[in-house]
Structure 1
Amino acid sequence: MPEGRNVWLFSYGTLQLENVQIESFGRLLEAEADAMPGYSQTMVEITDPEVLRKSGQKFHPIVAATGNPADEVPGKVFRITQAELAAADSYEVSDYKRVLVRLKSGKDAWVYVRA
């Protein structure tokens, strides 16, 4: 992967699952533990048949900004290519939108939050 084309992707949910990574990216991603300050997590019901098939889960976590820096959502950060970011976009349903956030580690990463 060329260095300049890599981006960070943060996951607090099903993008951490091996089967979702294999189906979406064709490989397992190397992960580092990190956290997203200023957000809290709830669950959302998924109805998209393809996402249900890949994840095997009817309810997925979803996050929203709280404005409180003491709130924090733990997860994993992955270094991925632009093509893999597009694949992640295809996996996520319309309940989510992709935004750039500053993680606890100081990394700026893409993450899917409540739309």
Structure 2
Amino acid sequence: MQKLFTYGTLQHEDVQEDLFGRILEGTPETLKGYIVNKIQIEEEFGMIDYPIIVETDNLEDSIQGIVYEVTSNDLRQADLYEGKHYKCVEVVLQSHQKAWAYSLVM
């Protein structure tokens, strides 16, 4: 099993049901040294704002989210869902756990 830190739509039960075929059980967690920004992605009906984490290296910056235990297959499904604008990066959470999180593709 792997850890996945989420801060947006991957926390929604309907998204989890569609992607993973089940509702995930998670734990509240904090990611320090990052902020949430917005990116615009062109969708069928125009430009839509989506949240994206950006590293700041300032430990006073933090993001509240949820960490889930997922399988490698779950991560592949999440990669497909997040698409080409997001990349999966390894982060260290406040609890010192390592987890994957989706960040901006540079």
TM-score clears 0.5: yes
The question of 1:12 aligning with 2:7 is answered yes
Cα shift at 1:48: 4.8
Question: 1:61 and 2:51 equivalent?
Answer: yes
Which residue, 38, 47, 59 being the options, matches 2:42?
47
1:45-102 CA deviation, whole Å, 9 max, x = no partner? 33356xx9xxxxx432101100101110110000011110110111012221111110
The partner residue of 2:93 within 90, 96, 103 is 103
Q: In structure 1, what residue type is equivalent to 2:85?
A: D
Identical residues among aligned pairs (%):
39
Runs of 4+ with deviation above 4 angstroms: none
- Superposed CA RMSD: 1.5
Unaligned runs of 5+ in 2: none
Question: Which is helix-richer, 1 or 2?
Answer: 1
Please state if 1:37 is matched with 2:32. Answer: yes
**Is the CA contact 1:101–1:111 (under 8 Å) kept in the aligned structure 2?**
yes
Greater strand percent: which structure? 2
Contact 1:48 1:93 in 2 (8 A): no
Equivalenced residues, count = 103
